[in-house]
Structure 1
Amino acid sequence: MKFAINYSPESLRLYDKGQIHFDLVKLPAWEDAIKAVKKEFACYVHFPLKVGRGKGVIDNETKEPVKWKKIEKMMRQTGTEFVNLHLSLPSKHHPEIPKNSLSTVHFDQVLEKAGKDVQEAVKHFGAEKVIVENEHDGKGRNLRLNTHPEIYHRLMAETGCGFLLDVSHARIAARSLGVDEKEYLQSLPVQHIKEIHLTGIEWFGESHIERARTGGLTEKWISRISETWMDHLPMTSEDWPMVEWVLASIRSGEWSHPWVIALEYGGLGGFFGTFTDEDVLIEQIPKLYSLIHTI
C-alpha cells in the first residue's frame, strides 16, 4: 500500500529538501501538471469525472461528455491504476425526485441512471479498472440518495466496479444525516475498497471565509462552502483518531486493502492554493507516512 499527497509546489519543494516523504503524487487531470511532475516523481491522475444523470460520463472541468482517448493517454503517461468516477446527484438534475426522498421508486430511478453511466466506463476499461467515489450532500444541494450506502453497494454489485472511499465525504454525510460517523463508514461497501482519501474537516466559518476572500475566491464560490463542514483542510485533534481507526480496520482485514491512501490537503490555485500551509505539510505528512506504512 502506498501513500500519496496532493500535487502542490510546496510539497514537492519540501520533498526535495528532505523534510517530507511520500510514495506518489496525486495529480489533477492537467497535461502541464503531468509533464512537470512525472520526470521526477511517481504519480497518478485523479480524474474529474461525474456519473449519475444517465447521460454518460461527464468531464466536470469541461462540462462535456468525457473524451476517453484523453483519459487513456493520461493513464499511460502516469501508470494510473484506475479510472475514478464521482457519483454526483444534484437535486437540480433530478427535479422529479424530492430532495429528501428515500423511496424505492426514486432509488431505482437513480440507480438505473448511475449504473448506465458507470457501465460506459466499464465498457472501455473493464470493471476491475473502474472505481466509484462516495459523496456527501453538498450543503444540501444533492439528493439525500447520494449519501445512501445502499446506492454504492448496488453499484458495486451490478457493475463489478470497485470503491474509492473518501473518509471525509463519509463523515460529512454522517453529520448531515445525524448518524454516527463510524457506523456510517461501516455501512459503505468497505470490502470493495481500492483507494482511500483522507483530509481534515473543519466548520467553514468566519476566519476561513476571510482567508478565502484574501485569497481571491469569488463570493459565489465562498457561499457554496461557507457555514458548513468542509474537507481538504488540516487534520485536527478530532481527525487523527478517525485516521487511526480507518487504518486499524484495514489492518484487521475488516476492510479491503487499498492500493493507495491519499492525503487530499494542499494543491494549486483557488481554494487549494489559498489553504495550503507549509507548516501543516511539514507536521502532518511525516505522521501520516509513518502510520500508513505500519500496515
Structure 2
Amino acid sequence: MAKKRVTLVTCAQYPNLSEDEAGLVDELNSRGVDARIAIWNDPEVDWEEAGVCVIRSVRDYAAHQEEFVQWAHQVPRLLNPADVVKWATDKHYLLQLEERGVPVIPTTWLQPEQKLNKHQVHTRFPASGEFVVKPAVSSGGREMGRYDANNGTARTAAITHAYSLLQEGRSVMVQRYLSQVDEHGEYSLVYMNGVLSHSVEKAAMLTNPNTTEVQADEEVTGNRQPKPEEWMFGEKVRSAIHSMIKDRLGHDQHLLFLRIDIVPDGKGSYYLMEVSPVDGSLYLRTREDGIATFADAICNRVFW
C-alpha cells in the first residue's frame, strides 16, 4: 500500500523550510508519511501528485498575492484551504472580525481608489503620539514603519511611506502605536486543529520611531504559559474565525494551524493585532516537542 504523501510548501528563499521547521520532514516520515518539500511557484512541480499540501515558509506571498491565491486554488488538497488563504492574506479581514465582536487596534484605512494626495494622507495621521504605517497585504512585519507624529522628519517619512504604497495600488493601514507593546510585548497563541498548542511572547518589532528608514527589528521569542484571560480572548478570536469561515466560505473543519497575535489594550483586556493561518511562524522551536506536535497535527488530517 502506497504511503500518504505530504508536501510542505515553501518559497525559493527557504528551499528547505525555515530554521524553526527543521526536522519536520523526518518527523512526518517517521509516522509513515511520504513527506517532501516544494516551492510554491516552481513550474516543475505537479501539484496533482503532491498529496496533502501544507503551506509553511512562503515569505514572498505578499509581493505576489494574486498569483499566490490563484496557485492555492489550483492545489487539490491544501491545508489551510485556498479560500482561507485568500481571506487571510489581506488584513481587511480585521474589519470582518471586528463586526463579529473581536476588539482590534483602531485603524484608519487608506485606499488607492481614494486617490489621496500627500496633504490628504498627512491629515489622516494622528495629530500627536506615535503611530504605525503598514500595507494591508504584508508578511512578517515587512514594509511596516513606526513614526512619531510630533517629529517633522519622521512625519515626512510616514507620508512618503504611505503615499508610495498607495501609488503602487496597495491599501494602507494607519494605527496608533500602543505603548503596551514596549511594556509587555506581543503574545502569539498557536492553535493546531482548533486546540491551543502553545503561547509565545515577542519583543517589540519596531523600536525607533524617529527615522526615515522603515525597518522591523528581529523578533525575540520565548515560550510562556498564557494567562486565563489571554486564553479566553484567544478562544473568542478563534471561534469568530471559525464561524466566519463556516458562514462565508462554507468550511466547517478546524484550521490545521492558526496563530493569533494579541497585545494588552491597557484596560484589562486585549486587542487583536493579526491572525496567521497561512505562512506565519508557529514558533515550534520554543517548545521541546513542537516539531513532533505539528507532525502529529498534520498526520491527524492526512489519515482522517
Q: By the TM > 0.5 criterion, same fold?
A: no
Larger proportion of helix: 1
| TM-score of the two chains, using structure 1 as the length reference | 0.35
Larger proportion of strand: 2
Instruction: Choose 1 or 2 for highest CA Rg.
Output: 2
| TM-score of the two chains, using structure 2 as the length reference | 0.34
